[in-house]
């Protein structure tokens, strides 16, 4: 279905939990959209917050729905789906700030494309004032990748896609503003209401992979539907994460990530660079301590060469530091995958 020449009614659903420090700026950004005010609604689903989130939300002319117990992100999204009146369901997190034209750019895709399964936008970091924020932005902030990255079960194809995605951020992968993608993050995503209801929304048993699961179920039920991104549909994601919190996110989700890969019958994402680094370090340690030091210092610069190339181009020391940050992040993820795999097998 194409919504050509009209403004379809959109339901923006904010999932909020203990968001007293961020929900006000989130709602204000959505109330200030350039999209016709009578053509969208804002629904806030409070997932049993313990702070002043509800008190702050009640100051604004939005619809508030409160959970009596915490149901998690998927549960909150499904509650929003139950009460939404729009033709388009637009997902939003409580720590995001939308660009003024964000909703208009999201809807533009629905007006120009047909057979749509979902539409995403671009996620940016808030300030990039510290090293972690700059690193997260370099990593892509969870932004979607073009459709040719999706569904690759071959380990070599996945490795090639990994290298390509690190060298080409989404803004430069395609020369078009709107293009087809393989998956998308819930913080900046939208779906035709009928498609969501036909698929019965999000799986509330999942945490961390619920968005991927939803898209796969949509694709399985409707093989002709496609997913798109409009890189002009920008929002700022204010993670407020330090580096420790950032690298521990996949660790905490290790079991659901493993189950997702096993369900899809894919080889687990065993990052090769940390393994190669560890082997080279151990071998050099037995050969010569000077060689060991050289390996520790310079091998990450070689493995994560795209950061080294950026250092040469921009002469910013942070790109050299990013090689070590990514090595640490991938090592933690790798350990999480391995431990998660054994935990899943033991539970069976």
**How far is the first Cα of the chain from the last one, in angstroms, to the nearest whole number?**
43
Architecture in CATH of 10-241 = Alpha-Beta Complex (3.90)
Provide the residue count of the chain. Answer: 348
Sign of CA dihedral 287, 291, 297, 303: negative
Question: For residues 253 and 141, is the Cβ–Cβ distance under 8 A?
Answer: no
Residue-level pLDDT, tens digit, the chain, 348 residues: 666 557 999 999 999 999 999 999 999 999 999 999 999 999 999 999 999 999 999 999 999 999 999 999 999 999 999 999 999 999 999 989 999 999 999 999 999 998 899 999 988 876 667 888 888 878 766 666 555 445 555 666 666 666 666 655 555 455 678 888 877 877 789 999 999 999 999 998 877 788 888 988 998 898 899 999 998 998 888 767 789 998 998 888 888 888 878 877 777 877 889 999 999 999 999 999 999 999 999 999 999 999 999 999 999 999 999 999 999 999 999 999 999 999 988 876
For residue 233, count other CB atoms closer than 10 A to its CB. 26
How far is residue 157's CA from residue 25's CA, in Å, rounded to a whole number? 42
Name the residue ranges covered by the structural domains of the chain: 10-241, 260-347
Q: Model's pTM, two decimal places?
A: 0.84
Residue carrying the six token digits 């996949």: 250
Angle at 23 between CA 58 and CA 205, to 5 degrees: 100
Give me the residue label for tokens 């057979």.
Answer: 115
CA 70, 73, 79, 83 torsion: positive or negative?
A: positive
């Amino acid at each position: 279905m194409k919504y050509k020449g009209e403004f379809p009614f959109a339901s923006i659903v904010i999932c909020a939990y203990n968001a007293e420090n961020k929900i006000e700026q989130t709602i204000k950004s959505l109330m200030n959209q350039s999209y016709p005010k009578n053509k969208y609604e804002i629904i806030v689903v409070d997932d049993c917050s313990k702070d002043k989130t509800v008190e702050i939300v009640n100051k604004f002319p939005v619809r508030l729905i409160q959970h009596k117990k915490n149901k998690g992100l998927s549960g909150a999204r499904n509650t929003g789906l139950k009460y939404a009146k729009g033709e388009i369901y637009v997902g939003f997190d409580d720590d995001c700030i939308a660009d003024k034209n964000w909703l208009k750019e999201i809807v533009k895709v629905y007006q120009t494309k047909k057979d749509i399964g979902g539409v995403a936008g671009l996620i940016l970091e808030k300030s990039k004032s510290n090293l972690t924020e700059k690193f997260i932005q370099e990593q892509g902030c969870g932004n979607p990748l073009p459709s040719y990255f999706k569904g690759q079960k071959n380990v070599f194809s996945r490795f090639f896609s990994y290298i390509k995605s690190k060298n080409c951020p989404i803004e430069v992968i395609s020369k078009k503003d709107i293009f087809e993608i393989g998956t998308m993050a819930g913080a900046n995503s939208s779906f035709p209401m009928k498609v969501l209801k036909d698929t019965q929304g999000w799986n509330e048993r999942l945490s961390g992979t619920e968005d991927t699961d939803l898209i796969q179920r949509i694709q399985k039920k409707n093989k002709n539907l496609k997913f798109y991104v409009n890189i002009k549909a920008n929002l700022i994601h204010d993670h407020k994460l330090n580096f420790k919190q950032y690298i521990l996110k996949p660790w905490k989700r290790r079991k659901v990530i493993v189950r997702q890969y096993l369900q899809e019958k894919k080889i687990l994402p065993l990052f090769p660079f940390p393994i190669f680094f560890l082997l080279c370090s151990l071998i050099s340690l037995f050969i010569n301590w000077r060689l060991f030091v050289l390996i520790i210092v310079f091998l990450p610069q070689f493995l994560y060469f795209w950061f080294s190339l950026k250092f040469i181009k921009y002469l910013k020391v942070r790109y050299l530091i990013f090689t070590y940050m990514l090595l640490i992040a991938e090592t933690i993820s790798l350990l999480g995958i391995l431990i998660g795999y054994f935990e899943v097998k033991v539970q069976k």
